Amino acid sequence: MLLKLLLTAVLVISTHTKWASSDLESLSRELLEAARRSELFEWMKRIRRTIHQNPELGFEEYETSRLIRSELDSLGIQYAWPVAKTGELVDWEFKSKNDGKMHACGHDTHVAMLLGAAKLLQGRKDQLKGTVKLVFQPGEEGNAGAYHMIKEHALDDVDAIISLHVLPTVPTGSIASKAGPVLAGTGLFKATITGKGGHGAHPHLSKDPIVAASSTAIALQQIISRETNPLESGVVTIGYFKGGQAGNVIPEKVEFGGTFRSLTSEGLTYLRDRIKEIVEMQSSVHQCHGEVDFLEETPMPWPVMINDQALHEHGTQVVEALIGRSKLEVFHLTMGSEDFSFFSSKMPAAIFVLGIKNVTLNSDKPLHSPYFFVDEEAFPVGAAFHAALAISYLEKH
């Protein structure tokens, strides 16, 4: 479950054209100090550990939702619900109790920090010159939960939205970001090539889909190596290949699938069209039939994630005031993807990353690794960042 702090300004015009740096620093440090106090810090850790021990699959986050609603009730914060439906190898006391399920991307930490921000904001609600929405989104990992929230009008009349995602390559407590494209747009495909099965001793009597699929897999890689400008970014990756069960039998059908990615919408369209064309034509060369499913009901593709320039700059001002310029890092462009990009296609948006890297704690393992671990010392920074940005953004606008 990936959490977003969503800001929507009501019809209140601030008398300030710019938030004074001294005021922002004072506010940020005050919020950080409050977030680091034992009571709030331990509360965030307890929430995170409870969620981590009981991970749930996309659109099945029933217990997680119940916990969030319980905490919001205790804070006196109103909410809309439901929206969009609703294996671990770490040696840790609070590791997952559900076999085969794990929070290996930090979404449990995002819940805890956003609830921490809610607590900070609720205590300062008289300072807010607008409305702050806290979005607890289901189904981020491959289920496009953000798309479904938009479709159900949960984000109408919104001026800006930010996301804070933990990252194990950035030192604990540092925050990183950049303006412009930061994550690739991505699509998935499933190709099926159908031929004529037969005995391996008589290949001339069959139409071999394995040969056709193998040629197709090689040809698809040449989209990047021979058709894409070397100065532009693109990816075509085949992740699985299924066909046949016996070594002496040529199967009737082969299925394979993968992902394609680009940093432009035009690039995504080109890759999609060429994948379809190559699968169909290579199959035909081998006297087979090929077809491609782009899993558009998921929905796919996800848009390119583009950080709004003004929102990014405001966020970096908050980071500098909160933890100092030395802990403001650059978020390097990656071909990874994030369904938060659906929000960025609808309104000004920016995604920031919060460092959790602590070699001593082994919290430097990659996202989605079964060894993924989080340095919880980053929590106060995340909660305070959310709260400080919300208050100052609404003041400025």
- Give the pLDDT confidence score for residue 384 in this predicted structure: 96
- Residue 234: pLDDT above 80? yes
The answer to whether residues 163 and 24 belong to one domain is yes
Give kind and range of the element (H or E) at residue 167: strand 160-171
The answer to whether residues 157 and 252 belong to one domain is no
DSSP H helices, the chain, are: 21-36, 38-53, 62-75, 107-122, 145-151, 209-222, 265-285, 309-323, 341-344, 379-396
The answer to whether residues 17 and 104 belong to one domain is yes
- Residue 300: pLDDT above 90? no
Residue 103 lies in a domain: yes
- Residue 103: pLDDT above 90? no
Residue 96 lies in a domain: yes
- Given 259, 293, 327, which residue is the final one in a domain? 293
Cα–Cα distance measured from residue 32 to residue 9, given in angstroms and rounded to the nearest whole number: 24
- Residue 386: pLDDT above 70? yes
* Cα 228 to Cα 203, 214, 216, 271, 337, distances in angstroms: 36, 21, 18, 9, 20
Angle formed by the axes of helices 379-396 and 21-36, to 10°? 150
Residue 136 lies in a domain: yes
The answer to whether residues 22 and 63 belong to one domain is yes
The residues pairing with 180 across neighbouring beta strands, listed in sequence order, are: 307
Expressed as residue numbers, the domain containing 221 is: 185-293
pLDDT band at 383 (very low <50, low <70, confident <90, very high): very high
Counting the structural domains of the chain, the total is 2
pLDDT band at 37 (very low <50, low <70, confident <90, very high): very high
- Residue 97: pLDDT above 60? no
- Give the pLDDT confidence score for residue 94 in this predicted structure: 41
The answer to whether residues 95 and 223 belong to one domain is no
Q: Beta strand pairing status for 160-171 and 2-8?
A: antiparallel
CATH at residue 75? 3.40.630.10
- Given 238, 263, 293, which residue is the final one in a domain? 293
pLDDT band at 92 (very low <50, low <70, confident <90, very high): very low
The answer to whether residues 267 and 342 belong to one domain is no
The answer to whether residues 168 and 65 belong to one domain is yes
The answer to whether residues 39 and 166 belong to one domain is yes
pLDDT average, residue stretch 343-357: 92
- Given 269, 293, 317, which residue is the final one in a domain? 293
The answer to whether residues 68 and 172 belong to one domain is yes
**Taking all residues of the chain, what is their mean pLDDT, rounded to a whole number?**
85
Annotated binding site for Mn(2+): 105, 107, 141, 165, 368
Residue 151 lies in a domain: yes
Residue 299 lies in a domain: no
The answer to whether residues 26 and 145 belong to one domain is yes
pLDDT average, residue stretch 273-297: 96
- Residue 120: pLDDT above 70? yes
- Give the pLDDT confidence score for residue 83 in this predicted structure: 65
The answer to whether residues 328 and 257 belong to one domain is no
Residue 276 lies in a domain: yes
CATH at residue 252? 3.30.70.360
- Give the pLDDT confidence score for residue 90 in this predicted structure: 37
pTM: predicted TM-score of the whole model, two decimal places: 0.81
Annotated binding site: 105, 107, 141, 165, 368
The answer to whether residues 101 and 178 belong to one domain is yes
pLDDT average, residue stretch 102-131: 83
Residue 298 lies in a domain: no
Tokens 């920016």: give the residue: 350
- Residue 188: pLDDT above 60? yes
